[in-house]
Amino acid sequence: MNIQLSPLNEQQLGALSGLSAGLNREQLLWINGYFQGLLAATSGIQLVNSVVQEKSSKKLTILYGTHTGRSKSIAGKLTEKLANSGVEVQVIALDEYKTRQLSSESNVVFIVSTHGEGEPPAMAEDFHAFITGKRSPKLPGLSYSVVALGDKSYKLFCKTGIDIDLALTHSGAKAILPILKLDVDFEDDVDRWINEFANVFIEIPASSGLSGATSNPILKATEYSRKNPFQATVIDKVKITGRDSDKEVYHVELSLEGSGITYEPGDSVGILASNPTVLVDEILKFKGFDGSETVTVKEGDYSLKEALSNYLEITVLTRDVIHNYFEKSKHPKLQEVIENEEKLDQYLYGHDVLDLLEEFPAHFTAQQLVEILRSFPARLYSISSSQLAVGDEVHITVSRVRYSKNGRERAGACSTYLADQIEPDSIVSVFIEKNPAFKLPENKETPVILVGAGTGVAPYRAFLQHREASNQKGKTWLFFGERRFGSDFLYQLEWQKLLKDGFLEKIDVAFSRDQEQKIYVQHRLIEKQKEIYEWLNKGASIYLCGDMKQMARDVQKALLQIFETEGGMSEEKALEFLKKLKKEKRFQTDVY
């Protein structure tokens, strides 16, 4: 009987032996940490140090909850750092963690994002309810830290992480470090925090930087991010709304040739844009600056005009910016806005930095002005292509934001940049943002129901391209909504071809402005409720992409109504069924 004791073949074993021959303990530890980091970044399973390393008395559990994969990526970085120093680390997704184990833990790091208006990501819902609820245990023997991811443009910034931190404090647990709250541009803050946490937890020299795979030059060459974007060439840009449309939607194709970048349907592209030139010039003119003033921002020293153009957010306002402005201006009318939540919400919607300067005037130096503002975050767009179909390209679908307010024309920063400032052969700075929470089912036989409105249909183009490239036919039902059939039916010819060729089984459309009474995708779902419920009972997965505040909420209400009507469920049971679909990853959302 031939018993294979190693999963490696002879050639791989020989290479491994040659690599490890003659290495000292420090070098072996480094290699162990390198592989631990790779494993942590590519799996959600428990990680335990087991390669030639003395067993450490220090143990750490890292629990992560993510919607886009960022929390998981940070968990991988932290694991690599600690594994290099002999700490026994295990990394577990929050939806796979047994909550009863928490009472027996000694050291835990929680890395969790906040989704939408203060909601936990789907994989963290149950844990969040547990730790903040009546069944939360007393945890006097637990030492912990919380890394909270969020977006300051939303009202309840980092709420999920804050909730968990407060619940742990009330349970008697002791914080290793105070909660770290991360905005969208977080890479530098994460690196600093990992070093600080490691210094406290394992008492290594403060001068030691991140080691292992993060300093490996081979990995760096293929790791593109906001800090190190790939310079992609624009292949094509086409307006795909008709002449009579009151929207401008563009299909943009970018070349990834030579980058080694890979992506999957459901992932997003991060775009580093420039602010509208007109708005930059108006801000400079109103404040009496000529733009040549030297200022210091996070990225370094630049002229004021360059900082406002490329490094600072000026087209939208956040609570943080308004509070910063008030701290420096002490303007009494702005204080009235800040102290009234309804007024503050209203002011945040549709206003920009020039509004703030004009309506609440105050004297600032150029440096004081830039210190008030938020760093310019990358804009994320759902990928509308499959790499199986397009190779070294990535496609996006962009709706240009234009509106008028207070007698002045306004424009979205990135959508205007893509619509007005780029053409074929232009260079655009990009990176890929993974989204493990919005993926086609692993079982190719699983039926899928795709619900989207406007540019929310973009990832479904990627899904169906992928199925076509894989010769995977049928069992796909698309619900698409827009304003008018004649001018706004995005990718109409492609859907028709997919129907004809059998890669799309069914399509239902809702064009809200083509009749007196407005019809939206949720109405089409109700019309087909019996069939939808039958598909779900047969194991179908349902996807939702689009506007979070209106369309997504209305669609979820429609689904609950379907469950109550067709499933004979109470309101409570319908909510439980929807939650069950989320937990089983059979209801996935990508909303904004």
DSSP string, 482-528: ES-HHHH-TTHHHHHHHHHHTS--EEEEEETTSSSS---HHHHHHHT
Q: What is the pLDDT of residue 560?
A: 97
d(CA 347, CA 367): 25
pLDDT of residue 47: 39
103 token code pair: 């009472």
How many whole angstroms separate alpha carbon 437 and alpha carbon 121?
9
Closest Cα partner for 263 from 235, 224, 233, 234?
224
Same domain, 351 and 396: no
CA distance 452 to 342: 30
3-class SS of residue 444: coil
The pLDDT score that the predictor gives to residue 69 is 85
Quick one: 206 and 318 in the same domain? no
Q: Provide the domain limits for residue 532.
A: 448-591
C-alpha Rg value of the chain to the nearest Å: 26
Tell me which DSSP letter residue 178 carries: P
Coil, strand or helix at 212: helix
Domain boundary at 351, 372, 393, which? 372
Residues 105 and 166 in one domain: yes
> 562: exposed, middle or buried (C-beta count within 10 Å: 0-12, 13-18, 19+)?
buried
CA 326 to centroid of chain Cα atoms: 30
Residue 11 lies in a domain: no
Question: Is 459 found in the same domain as 420?
Answer: no
Residue 440 within a domain:
no
Kindly report the backbone phi and psi dihedral angles of residue 379, in degrees, each rounded to the nearest multiple of 5, phi listed first. Answer: -100, 135
Q: Kindly state whether residue 52 falls inside one of the protein's structural domains.
A: yes
The answer to whether residue 499 is domain-embedded is yes
Structurally, how many domains does the chain consist of? 4
Name the burial class of residue 584, with classes exposed (0-12), middle (13-18) and buried (19+) by CB atoms within 10 angstroms of its CB: exposed
- Residue 65 belongs to some domain of the structure: yes
Task: Point out the domain boundary residue: 326, 352, 372.
Answer: 372
Shared domain for 244 and 303, answered yes or no, is no
CA 118, CA 126: separation in Å to the nearest integer? 15
Contact status, residue 338 vs residue 344, Cβ threshold 8 Å: yes
Q: What pLDDT score does 426 carry?
A: 96
**477 and 452: one domain?**
yes
Cβ–Cβ < 8 Å for 383, 458:
yes
Residue 336 sits in the same domain as residue 396: no
Do residues 410 and 261 both lie within one domain? yes
Question: What are the distances in angstroms from CA 173 to CA 140, 166, 562?
Answer: 5, 10, 43
In a domain, 490, yes or no: yes
CA distance 520 to 514: 11
| Helices 159-170, 125-132: crossing angle, 10 deg rounding | 40
CA dist 259 and 237 (Å) reads: 21
Q: Are residues 64 and 115 in the same domain?
A: yes
- How confident is the chain (592 residues) per 10-residue block, as mean pLDDT? 47 60 53 50 40 57 90 92 87 90 92 88 91 87 94 88 95 93 89 91 47 35 81 96 94 94 96 95 97 95 97 95 95 94 91 96 96 95 95 95 88 93 95 94 94 96 96 94 96 96 96 93 97 96 91 95 97 96 94 85
Identity of residue 512: S
Specify whether 198 is located in the same domain as 324: no
pLDDT of residue 525: 97
SS3 label, residue 274? coil
Structure tokens at 351: 């206003």
Do residues 548 and 540 make contact, with C-beta atoms less than 8 angstroms apart? Answer: no
| 177 and 302 housed in the same domain | no
Say whether 245 sits in a helix, a strand or coil.
coil
Query: Alpha-carbon distance 275 to 313, whole Å?
Result: 8
| Under 8 Å between Cβ of 64 and 75 | yes
SS3 category, 356: helix
Instruction: Kindly report the CATH number assigned to the domain that includes residue 329.
Output: 1.20.990.10
Look at residue 133 in the predicted model and tell me its pLDDT.
Answer: 87
Within a domain: 6: no
Please state the length of the chain.
592
DSSP collapsed to 3 states, 29-46: HHHHHHHHHHHHHHCCCC
| CA 112/CA 131 separation, integer angstroms | 13
Domain finish residue from 350, 372, 394: 372
Domain presence at residue 13? no
- Scanning 396-453, the segments in alpha helix (DSSP H) are 413-416
pLDDT at 7: 55
**β strands within 245-323, DSSP E:** 249-255, 268-272, 294-297, 300-303
Return the CATH number at 103: 3.40.50.360
pLDDT at 218 (0 to 100): 33
Pairwise CA distance, residues 454 & 247, whole Å:
10
Q: Which residue has the tokens 């208006």?
A: 117
- CATH (domain of 544): 3.40.50.80
Domain match, 565 and 495 both: yes
